[in-house]
């Protein structure tokens, strides 16, 4: 097992960075009169700055996910966590990350914005990840390996043995994006506490139904989480988002909804395979189905003309002919199938 030290892996100036200390950091607790933050004093719903540490929200997430609050970073979407991780560990123009296309596009974009090179180690044709191939690419400039499981847009999961081999033998930070984990029969890897180089990304945007609130999670070793907290914008999650997330998570509607989405996924998967222009529906551990059709562009346009928008992924590596179809409500899926059954594809 290769050793990993957060201290040594961080960019030197981040190691010694003194974070901005906001008014709400310097005084916590209750006071009679607040004259410390230049806020408008007249009471409105939002005249005060939010809690920069999102403590109440983290306490609730900590209960739901059974993870200590100090191992949770909450960001303005997972995208903020991806950006902060790259900025904390990768020296622009020097270091690189490794990604496995076809996969979520933000790793590459965040790396490019930060002038950090992205080394691509494509998935094999069956969408599997080879630990050996990835490990061969690792050198002293490799700072982060991004793995997405279940993967977007392919829908498959990476076996935990493969991820563990990479964790053990790479000696670099491994970020496992579990945005779709709640739709999967596989367990989250967040319990693998012995690996200090593991960060898990999750989000309230998919299974929890809160995409509009923009709350993403990074979970893992306290040393990395505390670094993300030091470099984030102090008030990165608004009071409105924090309050709504707490309110809606307490209603606990997601478990029921996830069950419906999973059963609809399996039903829709079967129904799609009965259509003559559908060549393949890939197995999915997520809330979408990667579906290979005979003429993806024509099929996309036909659905669009009928008021249904899916995602054309046919230009992605290993995804020729593929549309990515999110699972809707039972009624929406029914309407999708009705429209698709009328689609006359004739192989000319
Ligand atoms: C949707 C998605 C996210 C979520 O991003 P947010 O910024 O939290 O909404 C993260 N990773 C993957 C792979 C996704 O598909």
pLDDT at 72 over 50: yes
Rounded to whole angstroms, the Cα distance separating 208 from 255 reads 8
The pLDDT of residue 25 is 87
Ligand 1 pocket mutation pick from 179, 200, 218, 284 by most atoms within 8 angstroms of CB: 179
Whether ligand 1 lies within 6 angstroms of the CB of 155 is answered as no
- Which residues, including other chains, have CB under 8 Å from residue 44's CB and lie 6 or more apart? none
Among the ranges given (53-62, 313-322, 338-347), the one the predictor scored with the smallest mean pLDDT: 338-347
The pLDDT of residue 20 is 87
The pLDDT of residue 344 is 75
The pLDDT of residue 345 is 67
Q: pLDDT tens for residues 207-250? A: 999 999 999 999 999 999 999 999 999 999 999 999 999 999 99
Whether ligand 1 lies within 6 angstroms of the CB of 285 is answered as no
Confidence of residue 348 (pLDDT cuts 50, 70, 90): very low
Q: How far is the CA of 342 from the centre of ligand 1 (A)?
A: 33
Whether ligand 1 lies within 6 angstroms of the CB of 152 is answered as yes
The pLDDT of residue 339 is 97
Q: pLDDT tens for residues 250-275? A: 999 999 999 999 999 999 999 999 99
Whether ligand 1 lies within 6 angstroms of the CB of 179 is answered as yes
Q: How far is the CA of 208 from the centre of ligand 1 (A)?
A: 12
pLDDT at 287 over 50: yes
Q: pLDDT tens for residues 76-101? A: 999 999 999 999 999 999 999 999 99
Whether ligand 1 lies within 6 angstroms of the CB of 178 is answered as no
pLDDT at 142 over 90: yes
**Rounded mean pLDDT, 276-289:** 97
Whether ligand 1 lies within 6 angstroms of the CB of 216 is answered as yes
The pLDDT of residue 201 is 98
Closest C-alpha to ligand 1, atom 12: 179
Q: How far is the CA of 159 from the centre of ligand 1 (A)?
A: 20
């Amino acid at each position: 097992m290769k050793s990993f030290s957060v201290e040594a892996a961080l960019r030197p100036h981040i190691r010694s960075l003194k974070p901005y200390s906001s008014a709400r950091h310097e005084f916590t607790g209750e006071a009679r009169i607040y004259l410390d933050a230049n806020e408008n004093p007249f009471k409105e719903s939002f005249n005060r700055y939010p809690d920069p540490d999102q403590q109440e929200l983290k306490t609730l997430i900590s209960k739901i996910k059974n993870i200590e609050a100090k191992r949770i970073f909450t960001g303005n979407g997972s995208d903020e966590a991806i950006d902060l991780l790259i900025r904390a560990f990768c020296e622009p123009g020097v270091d690189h990350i490794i990604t496995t296309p076809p996969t979520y596009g933000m790793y590459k974009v965040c790396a490019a914005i930060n002038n950090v090179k992205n080394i691509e180690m494509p998935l094999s044709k069956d969408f599997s990840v080879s630990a050996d191939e990835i490990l061969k690419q690792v050198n002293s400039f490799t700072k982060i390996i991004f793995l997405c499981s279940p993967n977007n847009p392919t829908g498959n999961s990476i076996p935990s043995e493969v991820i563990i081999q990479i964790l053990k033998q790479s000696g670099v930070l491994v970020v496992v994006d579990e945005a779709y984990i709640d739709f999967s029969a596989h367990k989250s890897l967040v319990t693998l506490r012995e690996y200090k180089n593991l960060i898990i990304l999750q989000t309230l945007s998919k299974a929890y139904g809160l995409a509009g609130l923009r709350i993403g999670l990074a979970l893992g070793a306290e040393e990395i989480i505390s670094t993300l907290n030091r470099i984030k914008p102090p008030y990165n999650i608004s009071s409105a988002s924090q309050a709504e997330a707490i309110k809606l998570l307490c209603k606990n509607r997601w478990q029921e909804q996830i069950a419906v989405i999973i059963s609809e996924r399996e039903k829709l998967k079967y129904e799609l395979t009965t259509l003559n222009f559908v060549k393949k529906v890939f197995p999915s551990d997520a809330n979408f189905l990667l579906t290979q059709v005979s003429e993806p562009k024509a099929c996309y346009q036909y659905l669009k003309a009928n008021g249904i928008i899916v995602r054309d992924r046919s230009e992605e590596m290993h995804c020729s002919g593929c549309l990515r179809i999110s699972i809707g409500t039972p009624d929406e899926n029914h309407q999708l199938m009705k429209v698709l059954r009328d689609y006359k594809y004739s192989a000319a």
